[in-house]
């Protein structure tokens, strides 16, 4: 299966839904920061990988699928569930990459400066996530 970019799918998301994404992302980030401030880096660090915005994201994916199906005259409940399941499977590949991101931070700091470490960590996240996705597709 080939990687494609489809910018027309951005039209499915309304400005209000983008605003909700922004607010949810901001709130989860603040909550993770407060937890780290209160309980320290060991517990706080775990919340850097907390799936706080995942439930609204996956709900939006299912909603858009239902709307696409309704536009074609179908009910689309089951296909919306399947789409949400596929999205979650993709997220599991991303989560594997997230672990690799943390590993890079752990092993490369404080010995190196932050910017190259962050760039490396993002590259490793993308590589591991894509590899896990590719393996899953092949299985």
Partner 1 sequence: MIELLLRFLIGGAVVSLFAVLGDTVKPESLGGIFAAAPTIALATVVITLHERGAAYVALEGRSMMAGAAAFFVYACAVSWVMMRRRVSALPTATVLLLVWAGVAATLWAVWLRG
CA distance 46 to 102: 10
Asked if 118 touches partner 1 (CB under 8 A), the answer is yes
Asked if 25 touches partner 1 (CB under 8 A), the answer is yes
Q: Which C-beta is closer to partner 1: that of 34 or that of 70?
A: 34
Asked if 106 touches partner 1 (CB under 8 A), the answer is yes
CA distance 1 to 76: 24
Asked if 116 touches partner 1 (CB under 8 A), the answer is no
Asked if 76 touches partner 1 (CB under 8 A), the answer is no
Asked if 114 touches partner 1 (CB under 8 A), the answer is yes
- CA-CA-CA-CA torsion sign (100, 123, 19, 56): negative
Q: How far is CA 76 from CA 20, 66, 81, 118, 130, in A?
A: 24, 5, 9, 41, 29
Among 14, 15, 18, 120, binds partner 1 (CB under 8 A): 18
Window 50 to 69, contacts with partner 1 (CB under 8 A): 50-59, 61-62
Count Cβ atoms within 10 A of the Cβ of residue 18 and give its class: 0-12 exposed, 13-18 middle, 19 or more buried.
exposed
Asked if 24 touches partner 1 (CB under 8 A), the answer is yes
CB of 132 to partner 1, least distance (A): 8
């Amino acid at each position: 299966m080939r990687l494609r970019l489809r910018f027309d799918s951005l039209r499915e998301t309304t400005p209000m839904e983008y605003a909700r994404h922004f607010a949810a992302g901001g709130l989860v980030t603040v909550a993770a920061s407060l937890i780290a401030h209160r309980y320290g880096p060991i517990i706080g660090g775990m919340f850097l990988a907390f799936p706080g915005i995942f439930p609204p994201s996956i709900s939006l994916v299912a909603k858009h699928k239902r709307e696409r199906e309704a536009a074609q005259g179908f009910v689309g409940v089951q296909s919306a569930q399947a789409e949400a399941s596929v999205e979650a499977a993709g997220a599991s590949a991303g989560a594997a990459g997230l672990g690799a991101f943390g590993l890079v931070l752990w092993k490369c700091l404080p010995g190196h400066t932050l910017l190259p470490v962050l760039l490396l960590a993002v590259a490793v996240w993308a590589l591991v996530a894509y590899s896990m996705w590719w393996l899953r597709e092949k299985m």
